């Protein structure tokens, strides 16, 4: 019985020590988060302005879905296409109608549209801790092999805006077709700083 009692006491002490350690770690993470949020060097919106990009109105989804869903500190963004400032999508198949350079520019347009969704959802792009995952879909002929070069237009802009925080995991895949014959569609997962 004495041995059993000692085990309970040791177990409680171990739990208390672990709990204190967890609490200290959380406090440290919160302080780090606050430092980053107040760090004037991390200013994605200043980078957007410097790049000459104007945020766009994402409008309302055209079907039964939403632009973004938050789960914990992750924000999942619906796929966005290459709608330009004039309201028209870049359309056509890579390898037939569009060059790699035109595809790159189309993917950059999709990135601007996703940045606009982030701005609308979050109010301040400094709330983005990290771009976690990008899935780029390229409307291409079966023989096309440069999907990654096209989606670089999206990835390069995320890094230009968010710096190291914009580097992400990624898929760049070919599709037989995309809605409205648009050239690309890209979806994204973003990690947010804890409030």
pLDDT in tens, 62-78: 899 999 999 999 999 99
CA-wise closest residue to 158 among 112, 102, 89: 112
Shared-domain flag, residues 77 and 1:
no
Shared-domain flag, residues 69 and 11:
no
Model pLDDT for residues 112-164, shown as the tens digit of each residue: 999 999 999 999 999 999 999 999 999 999 999 999 999 999 999 999 999 99
Report the side by side order of strands in the sheet with 169-175: 68-71, 74-80, 184-192, 128-139, 169-175
Distance CA 39, CA 117 (A): 23
Residues spanned by the domain of 158: 44-192
User: Are 135 and 128 spatial neighbours (Cβ–Cβ below 8 Å)?
Assistant: no
CATH number at residue 105: 3.30.1330.40
Residue 51: both structure tokens together: 């790049």
Shared-domain flag, residues 116 and 75:
yes
Shared-domain flag, residues 111 and 136:
yes
Distance CA 76, CA 189 (A): 5
Phi, psi of 185 (to 5 degrees): -140, 135
Shared-domain flag, residues 151 and 62:
yes
Distance CA 66, CA 44 (A): 24
Q: In angstroms, how far is the first alpha carbon of the chain from the final one?
A: 47
Shared-domain flag, residues 11 and 79:
no
pLDDT value of residue 67? 97
pLDDT at 60 over 60: yes
Shared-domain flag, residues 51 and 145:
yes
């Amino acid at each position: 019985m004495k041995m059993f009692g000692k085990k309970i006491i040791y177990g409680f002490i171990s739990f208390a020590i672990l709990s204190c350690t967890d609490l200290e770690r959380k406090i440290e993470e919160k302080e780090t988060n606050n430092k980053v949020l107040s760090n004037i060097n991390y200013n994605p919106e200043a980078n957007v302005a410097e790049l000459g990009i104007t945020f766009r109105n994402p409008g309302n989804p055209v079907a039964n879905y939403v632009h973004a869903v938050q789960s914990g500190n992750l924000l999942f963004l619906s796929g966005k296409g290459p709608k330009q400032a004039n309201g028209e999508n870049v359309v056509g198949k890579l390898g037939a109608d569009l060059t790699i350079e035109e595809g790159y520019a189309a993917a950059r347009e999709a990135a601007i549209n996703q940045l606009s969704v982030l701005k609308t959802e979050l109010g301040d792009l400094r709330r983005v801790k990290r771009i976690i995952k990008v899935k780029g879909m390229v409307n291409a002929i079966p023989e096309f092999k440069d999907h990654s070069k096209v989606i670089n237009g999206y990835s390069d802009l995320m890094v230009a805006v968010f710096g190291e925080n914009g580097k992400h995991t990624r898929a760049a895949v070919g599709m037989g077709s995309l809605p409205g014959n648009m050239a690309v569609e890209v979806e994204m997962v973003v990690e947010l700083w804890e409030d």
